Amino acid sequence: MIHRKLPFLAVCAALVAASAAIAGCGNDVPPNAVAKVGDTVIEKSDFDHWLNAAARGAQPAGGENVVVPDPPSFTKCVAAKKRQPVAKGAEKPTDAQLKEQCKAEYDSLKEQVMQFLISAEWILQEAEERDIEVSDAEVRKSFEDQKKETFEKEADYQEFLESSGQTEQDLLFRVRLDLISNEIRQQVLEGTDKISDEDIKEYYEKNKQRFAQPERRDAAVVVTRTKAQADEARRRLASGESFSAVAKDLSIDETTKDQGGKLAGVAKGQQEEEFDKALFAAKRGELSGPVKTQFGWYVFKVTKITPADQQTLEEAKETIRSLIRAEREQKALNDFVEDFRKRYRDETSCADGYVIQDCENAPQPEETTPASGGNPQGMQQPQQ
């Protein structure tokens, strides 16, 4: 509903398009429908309703006189575009060019709406198969909570309904999908949080380096453009001047210069090679340099050494538990989504003119690419 997206639904709608042989041309889709999922038809009237809402959502904020692209002639759309002002010096587009623009807009909106309607039906059928039910009371409560968060006044809500082309029933439908999607997700993830001490120990032994902290060094540095400047910096530092004062006068490294010459928490391999070698060979408290690098000459002093450290199994235990749970959750979702899409795509036929890659009768793509979207444009209330 409103400004919240449907995360699980969006995942299912944006799956990688699977290859499939061309199988018919939507022959079993009734004349009054745009698609059929199993025995359930998606009616043309529903498509038209959501297309109107998507077209409104695609308009700039405050836009008026929304015209939904009207195939195949696009007469109204072309007429509306002809009324739009043309930039000074720009060539006025022809009717044919405007028609092409209208067709491109329609194709984009159609794709989004078909993805939304098909994936919504997939979710509803999956919920039925899993015996998942969401009560009207649950839907209403979630709806009212979101409405209260989004709209300060009832008038604002009514204005949104008017401008979006949606009804309260549409928003309740979206909330229901959201709640159902969350329930399905919970079922898919069931058991992924059962992680034994043996699982944690095995993960730790295989990934010990992930729980090791390398030696780190803090230093005070002055970076100069020439060796003569570096020699001057070393002389002044050796005579007792502070790194802060010398860096302010001579350093060309703005980051450390603004910090009084301080360079903190450096691990081996993080600095340019020549300076890195010198930094980790130096003794704490000794003035070192000048060291020539491609970025200038370094004069420095190591001010602190933090020894390398290896977290113990006990110290890393909760971190590892979280990592294993995240990995198992992702695998469970990926496996489910792959199977979910294959099962329902095989059951989805689309009418001529409404075929998208979620339909089993879609042409086989030349190469596998991600589907383009989730919900139709304008389905979310703008952030308040």
Q: Domain of 248: which CATH number?
A: 3.10.50.40
For residue 286, pLDDT beyond 70: yes
Residue 275 belongs to some domain of the structure: yes
Q: What is the mean pLDDT of the chain?
A: 87
Indicate whether 289 and 162 sit together in one domain.
Answer: no
Are residues 291 and 331 located together in one domain of the fold?
no
Nearest to 350 by CA among 368, 340, 363: 363
pLDDT in tens, 23-47: 334 458 999 999 999 999 999 999 9
Residue 328: other Cβ atoms inside 10 A:
17
Same domain, 264 and 341: no
Do 130 and 266 lie in a common domain? Answer: no
pLDDT-derived band at 367, boundaries 50, 70, 90: low
My answer on whether 44 and 183 are in the same domain is yes
Residue 371 resides in a domain = no
Residue 271: per-residue pLDDT: 92
- Provide the residue range defining the domain that includes 257: 215-307
Q: What pLDDT does residue 248 have?
A: 92
**The token pair that represents 109 in the structure block:** 């909106």
**Residue 154: burial class (beta carbons within 10 Å; 0-12, 13-18, 19+):** exposed
Q: What is the pLDDT of residues 101-142, one digit of tens each?
A: 999 999 999 999 999 999 999 999 999 999 999 999 999 999
Domain count for the chain, please give it: 2
- The pLDDT of residue 19 is above 80: no
**Could you give the CA distance from residue 30 to residue 42 in angstroms, rounded to a whole number?**
9
pLDDT at 9 over 50: no
pLDDT at 366: 63
Pairing of strands 262-267, 40-43: unpaired
Domain boundary among 307, 332, 361: 307
Please, what's the b/e burial string for 177-210 (b: 16 or more CB within 10 A of its CB; e: otherwise)?
bbbbbebbbeebbeebeebeeeebeebbeeeeee
Checking if the pLDDT of 303 tops 50, the result is yes
Residue 177 falls inside a structural domain:
yes
Residue 333 — pLDDT band, cuts 50, 70, 90?
Answer: very high
61 pLDDT more than 60: no
Show the tokens assigned to 237.
């530092």
- Residue 374, token pair as written in the block: 């989730």
Give yes or no for residue 369 having a pLDDT over 50: no
pTM: 0.69
Least-confidence region, from 70-74, 109-113, 118-122, 368-372: 368-372
pLDDT value, residue 68: 86
Largest alpha-carbon pair distance within the chain? Answer: 93
Is pLDDT above 60 for 299?
yes
* Helices of type H across the chain: 7-13, 44-58, 75-82, 95-129, 136-150, 154-164, 168-189, 197-206, 227-238, 243-250, 254-257, 273-281, 313-345
Q: 234-273, pLDDT tens digit by residue? A: 999 999 999 999 999 999 998 899 899 999 999 999 999 9
Q: What share of the chain is helix, strand, coil (3-state, %, to 5)?
A: 50, 15, 35
- φ, ψ dihedrals at 168, nearest 5°: -60, -35
Contacts of 206 (CB under 8 A, 6+ apart): none
d(CA 347, CA 349): 7
Residues 257 and 115 in one domain: no
Confidence of residue 368 (pLDDT cuts 50, 70, 90): very low
| Interatomic CA distance for residues 42 and 45, integer angstroms | 9
Across 138-161, average pLDDT: 95
Contact criterion met (CB below 8 Å) for 340 and 12: yes
